[in-house]
Amino acid sequence: MIGPHICLIEDDPIMGESLVERFQLEGFKVDWHFGAYAARAAILANDYAVVLSDVRLADLDGDALYMQMLQDGHSLPPFILMTAYATVERAVDMLKLGVRDYITKPFDLPRLVQTIRELTVNHEVNTHLSDENILGVSTAAQELAQLVPRIAGRASSVLITGESGVGKEVLARLIHRKADSTSIERPFVAVNCGAVAPTLAEAEFFGFERGAFTGADKQKRGYLEQANGGTLFLDEVGELSLPLQATLLRSIQEKRIRRLGGEQDVATQFDLVCATNRDLESMVKERLFREDLYYRINVVTLHVKPLRERPEDVYWLAQRFISAMAQRLNEPPKSLHPLTQLRLQEYSWPGNIRELHNRIEHACLVSPNAVLLPNDIFASDWQRTVPLNTAFPGEDAALNIYQDACERLYIEEMLIRFQGHITETANALKISRKNLWEKMKRHNIEAARLPKQSVQDERVSG
């Protein structure tokens, strides 16, 4: 059984390694981060029982990280701050702000272990993960999250727009949860309008009585009736046929439906949330979508930006997916190499969150590496014309071996980015072409593995 999950933020490699070894011996599961910003994304993505952070960090001090996340409204796990430069005044200030402990280096390690054990003994999974964090950590995601409580259960209908795979249903489910002010579980009925066969659409949406048509051997409630008292989510609403749009509009306005073969109307009351990746306004002008239905469903419109426009969410989402895969497979979570993080940020993500989830899941299942390299996630990328050398040192490798591996990996990445052009790659690396060729030879990056025409052109011109 995996023990309590703790987050360590420490940029001193000796101190960090020592703490990780001790905590693991004590039965804790430890994620070690060198910087505050990487740790911030991990804290929002994982269910940590405790965060143990050094105060002085290269990118952002540990106490500043705590205050920043607190001011942003995040519900945080217990924080312990450690420093070699403590003052009584600062310690008192941080304890007043909610920090659980403020310890001075060098400290009593057994006592620290006992403190962490006491903080984790009653920890419950997901106690600090809030609905406000579920959409992402970017400004765009947080602005959406702040709007949800103001419209949930109050707007007669909400239209969510955005490209395919951006998380429109996640937002719809958040609206549904925020509208629930009781302890009674309300139904959430999700319908993919594009997947409903036209010949069955009316029966699926409005239901039917027994004997209404051949094969109707029992009564069935339709989507609108199933959603009574809850939320009806119509995904890809732009795919509805014009006749069905007319019937649906009347039912939404009158809050009543009539099953096929029925003689009486049935009252139904639900919150309506629709989503689309199409331009409904243009469809209205082209008479492909009813104008009256368009104005009926977009009382409030929420736009979910594509992943390429909110790069802050990429690493955060990747961490969540990796953590979920580790729990599902009952194995330690993999980590992301810095170059992998760079590729994740630079990639355009045409498939948005759905594509990111697919690539992370594939990498976690297939890669033998504890540290995911760029090639583990982007091996099938059409831009990848050079296969990376997947050999990478383990966690116990000497520093010089790890540095050599990072240099090789970075050179290969840059060669791929510039399609094998030696001059452009050397300029980007700020070294000479001769130096680049020497490094390629030392790292066994063979010219034959690069696009041949590019390499030949460089040799001739050089």
* 345 vs 154: which has the higher pLDDT: 154
Q: Are 207 and 219 in contact (CB under 8 A)?
A: yes
Q: Which of 58, 14, 44, 49 is nearest to 30 (CA)?
A: 49
Average pLDDT estimate for 163-167: 93
Average pLDDT estimate for 38-55: 86
Per-residue model confidence (pLDDT) at position 391: 52
Q: Is the pLDDT of residue 127 over 60?
A: no
**What number does CATH give the domain 1-129?**
3.40.50.2300
Q: Is the pLDDT of residue 13 over 50?
A: yes
* 38 vs 273: which has the higher pLDDT: 273
Per-residue model confidence (pLDDT) at position 184: 63
User: Which superfamily is assigned to 132-305 in CATH?
Assistant: P-loop containing nucleotide triphosphate hydrolases (3.40.50.300)
Residue-averaged pLDDT of the chain: 82
Q: Domain boundaries in the chain? A: 1-129, 132-305, 385-461
Per-residue model confidence (pLDDT) at position 129: 41
Q: Is the pLDDT of residue 284 over 50?
A: yes
Per-residue model confidence (pLDDT) at position 286: 96
Per-residue model confidence (pLDDT) at position 186: 83
What DSSP string describes 261-328? T-SS-EE---EEEEEESS-HHHHHHTTSS-HHHHHHH-SEEEEPPPGGG-THHHHHHHHHHHHHHHHH
Q: What is the 3-state secondary structure (H, E, C) of 139-198?
A: HHHHHHHHHHHHHCCCCCEEEEECCCCCCHHHHHHHHHHHCCCCCCCCCEEEEEHHHCCC
Per-residue model confidence (pLDDT) at position 461: 37
Q: Is the pLDDT of residue 100 over 70?
A: yes
Q: How much of the chain exceeds pLDDT 70, in percent?
A: 87
* 258 vs 45: which has the higher pLDDT: 258
Per-residue model confidence (pLDDT) at position 86: 64
Q: Is the pLDDT of residue 383 over 50?
A: no
- What confidence tier does 307 reach under pLDDT thresholds 50, 70, 90? very high
Q: Is the pLDDT of residue 454 over 70?
A: no
Per-residue model confidence (pLDDT) at position 144: 92
| CATH architecture of the domain with residue range 385-461 | Orthogonal Bundle (1.10)
Q: Is the pLDDT of residue 296 over 60?
A: yes
* 58 vs 406: which has the higher pLDDT: 58
Per-residue model confidence (pLDDT) at position 299: 93
Per-residue model confidence (pLDDT) at position 29: 87
* 400 vs 422: which has the higher pLDDT: 422
Domains 1-129 and 385-461 belong to one CATH topology: no
Per-residue model confidence (pLDDT) at position 163: 95
- What confidence tier does 373 reach under pLDDT thresholds 50, 70, 90? confident
Which of the listed ranges 352-356, 420-424, 438-442 does the model predict with the highest average pLDDT?
A: 352-356
Q: How much of the chain exceeds pLDDT 90, in percent?
A: 32
Q: Is the pLDDT of residue 92 over 50?
A: yes
Helices 433-442 and 399-417: angle between axes, nearest 10 degrees? 120
Per-residue model confidence (pLDDT) at position 241: 93
Q: Is the pLDDT of residue 249 over 70?
A: yes
Q: Which of 259, 333, 339 is nearest to 42 (CA)?
A: 333
Average pLDDT estimate for 222-242: 93
Which of the listed ranges 82-96, 128-142, 292-306, 367-381 does the model predict with the highest average pLDDT?
A: 292-306
Q: Is 237 left (phi over 0), alpha (psi -120 to 50) or beta?
A: alpha
Average pLDDT estimate for 385-392: 44
Average pLDDT estimate for 239-264: 91
Q: Is the pLDDT of residue 442 over 70?
A: yes
Q: Is the pLDDT of residue 3 over 80?
A: no
Average pLDDT estimate for 338-356: 86
